[in-house]
């Protein structure tokens, strides 16, 4: 749960930065938000979540 909240927060920050810098306008930003919202309710959501979890586990296992 904490990882998914962090990802949502990170993506929200990226979207706000793109919107404020002029790289993305209001319409495409709204489409991106709605795409994410509807993608979360599809059958692909568990697969995407497992993929993101495996990436975060791999990154956290790296020793510096």
Q: What is the pLDDT of residue 64?
A: 82
Alpha-carbon torsion 45, 47, 48, 54, what sign?
Answer: positive
18-59 tens-digit pLDDT? 888 888 888 888 888 888 888 888 888 888 888 988 988 898
Alpha-carbon Rg for the chain, nearest whole angstrom, is 14
Q: What is the pLDDT of residue 3?
A: 58
pTM over 0.85: no
């Amino acid at each position: 749960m904490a990882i998914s909240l962090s990802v949502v927060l990170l993506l929200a920050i990226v979207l706000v930065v793109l919107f404020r810098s002029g790289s993305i306008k209001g319409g495409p930003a709204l489409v991106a938000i709605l795409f994410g919202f509807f993608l979360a309710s599809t059958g692909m959501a568990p697969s995407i979540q497992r993929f993101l979890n495996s990436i975060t586990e791999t990154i956290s296992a790296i020793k510096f």
